[in-house]
Chains A and B, each alone.
Chain A
Amino acid sequence: MRTIPRETVVDAVAALCVDANRFLPADVLASFARAQAAETLPAAREIFSQLTQNAALAAETGLPLCQDCGLGVFFVEVGEDVRLADGSLREAINAGMVKGYREGFLRKSTCDPFSRKNVGDNSPAVVHFDLVPGDTLKICMMAKGGGSENMSRVTMLAPAQGWKGIRECVIRRVAESGSNPCPPVLVGVGIGGNFELAAINSKKALLRAVDDVHPDPEVAAMEADLFASINRLGIGPMGLGGRTTCLGVKVRVAPCHLASLPLAINIQCHSARHKEVTL
């Protein structure tokens, strides 16, 4: 059994939070350049030019990319042969997140759901653990803002609705979201599993790189169809019209109950901030 000091986790998580909020992943930036080249509308081109400038300014000044630094969402793969030297792993991740949001001058956005009083330190971190073979700890941090998260939905379809029903639901959800979630968006789709697994899978799918092609050709075909179809909506960057309503669609499929066809759609704004570390 390998042990990892608590401080190693705290410091690594703090750095993930700061870096994720400050540096846009290279694949996302590259997708802006591709999309900008495809746009003919001046307003759409201007938006991509501002987003590219914004990424450069954030990297240069240390300001976060977006004022909404999100809830800290963590997907953690815990090796069965690794443990924290002292204390709980969940607590260490939360402490790292609090440290990162404080030291990185990141906005703290958690509040009481009724009084709306701000908690003040962005805690608690939203943490999803998976137990995996091995003796390493892989932590993926996602800074998930409220504007795009609010446009996300979980829905339980009837099995007879099949792919046609899934396709229509996803396209309609993006259409109804319109300009609200900061398009161009990335669309994470969780198909199958059950109510909560579909939701987790729809968000986990968004950890893949924008230009990543799904290894299963059938799923890759679904992603390509949804990507092309959503872009025919014509919502465009920031809702101003144009060819780029979405930058990518990522699907994750799981077996489900014979009575169910769970579907979750997680909308991610263009500022697709995530970063991972393996300890």
Chain B
Amino acid sequence: MAEYHLTTPLRDAEVEMLRAGDVALLTGVIYTGRDAAHKRLVEALDAGRELPFPPKGAVIYYVGPSPARPGYPIGAAGPTTSYRMDSYAPRLLAEGVKGMIGKGMRAPEVKAAMIARKAVYFGATGGAGALLGLRIKEARIVAYEDLGPEAVRELVVVAFPVLVINDCLGGDLYATPDLEAALG
């Protein structure tokens, strides 16, 4: 398992070298988006409008941060569970999005789309909201302000720690539960 320092936006060559189990430290701009925002992003595409951020090489972080305390750019900011974005993700990958950050398992359609579009799914540590929030140096809302914690934000991150869960070759890091051993 390798450790990579990656700068966003991600390029195909970078995505292709990543394997499930690798550690990556992300630096640069990433965009937030979760349930309600994803619905609107896909509605925008369906209506022929542009996305509120440049999709080529973009990394989307599934997060709804807590409000920023005075003196901090953002509050706690750990990942939310990714499966709720599964029905929207392939559409965004088709627009050139290269990375997703969340936690938990992805649907087969999303894994297939990651292989087809050369994209990667990163896991961040769920519940480590304070630790991850402190790796975010700047934050500003770029769309859907009315959604509150679910608004799309542009984040500037430095050495943001993630783990490759699904790579673009079909590799999957998640352990398959051993039901036989448990039920025994």
Residue A161 CB within 8 A of the other chain: no
**Closest chain B residue, CB of each to CB of A24:** B127
Residue A262 CB within 8 A of the other chain: no
* A77–B36 alpha-carbon span in the complex (Å): 37
Residue B4 CB within 8 A of the other chain: no
Interface string of B75-102 (1 = CB under 8 A from A): 1111011010000000000000000000
Residue B48 CB within 8 A of the other chain: no
Choose the segment among A64-72, A191-199, A207-215, A250-258 that binds chain B (4+ C-beta atoms closer than 8 Å): A64-72
Residue B171 CB within 8 A of the other chain: no
Q: Are A178 and B129 in contact (CB under 8 A)?
A: no
Contact of B66 among A63, A118, A120, A175 (CB under 8 A): A63
Choose the segment among B11-19, B51-59, B174-182 that binds chain A (4+ C-beta atoms closer than 8 Å): B174-182
A138-179 at interface with B (beta carbon < 8 Å):
146-147, 150, 167-168, 171-172, 174-175, 178-179
* A181–B81 alpha-carbon span in the complex (Å): 7
**Closest chain B residue, CB of each to CB of A66:** B129
Choose the segment among A6-14, A52-60, A78-86 that binds chain B (4+ C-beta atoms closer than 8 Å): A52-60
Contact of A239 among B65, B161, B175 (CB under 8 A): B175
Q: Are B181 and A58 in contact (CB under 8 A)?
A: no
Main secondary structure of the interface of B (DSSP, over half): loop
Contact of A66 among B78, B147, B175 (CB under 8 A): B78
- Residues from chain A with a CB closer than 8 A to the CB of B148 are 108, 118, 120
Contact of B131 among A57, A107, A242 (CB under 8 A): A57
Contact of B127 among A62, A105, A182 (CB under 8 A): A182
Residue B139 CB within 8 A of the other chain: no
Q: Are B175 and A54 in contact (CB under 8 A)?
A: no
* A47–B175 alpha-carbon span in the complex (Å): 15
**Closest chain A residue, CB of each to CB of B128:** A54
**Closest chain B residue, CB of each to CB of A120:** B148
Contact of B75 among A107, A120, A175 (CB under 8 A): A107
Q: Are A229 and B184 in contact (CB under 8 A)?
A: yes
Q: Given A180-B103, A233-B178, are A105 and B75 neighbors across the interface (CB < 8 Å)?
A: yes
Residue A187 CB within 8 A of the other chain: no
Q: Given A57-B130, A147-B126, are A233 and B149 neighbors across the interface (CB < 8 Å)?
A: no
* A108–B126 alpha-carbon span in the complex (Å): 18
Q: Are A239 and B77 in contact (CB under 8 A)?
A: no
Q: How far is the CB of A164 from chain B (nearest CB, A)?
A: 10
- Residues from chain A with a CB closer than 8 A to the CB of B163 are 43, 240
Residue A203 CB within 8 A of the other chain: no
* A215–B28 alpha-carbon span in the complex (Å): 54
**Closest chain B residue, CB of each to CB of A59:** B130
- Residues from chain B with a CB closer than 8 A to the CB of A206 are none
Q: Given A43-B163, A61-B134, A63-B133, are A238 and B76 neighbors across the interface (CB < 8 Å)?
A: no
Q: Are B149 and A66 in contact (CB under 8 A)?
A: no
- Residues from chain B with a CB closer than 8 A to the CB of A106 are 66-67
Sort A-B residue pairs by CB-CB distance and give the 9 closest, nearest first: A182-B126, A180-B104, A241-B175, A175-B177, A107-B66, A58-B130, A67-B76, A63-B130, A66-B129
CB<8 Å pairs between A and B, sample of 26: A50-B125, A51-B127, A57-B134, A61-B69, A63-B133, A63-B134, A66-B78, A66-B129, A67-B77, A67-B78, A67-B80, A105-B66, A106-B67, A107-B65, A107-B75, A118-B147, A168-B183, A171-B179, A178-B105, A182-B127, A232-B181, A232-B182, A238-B123, A239-B105, A239-B175, A269-B127
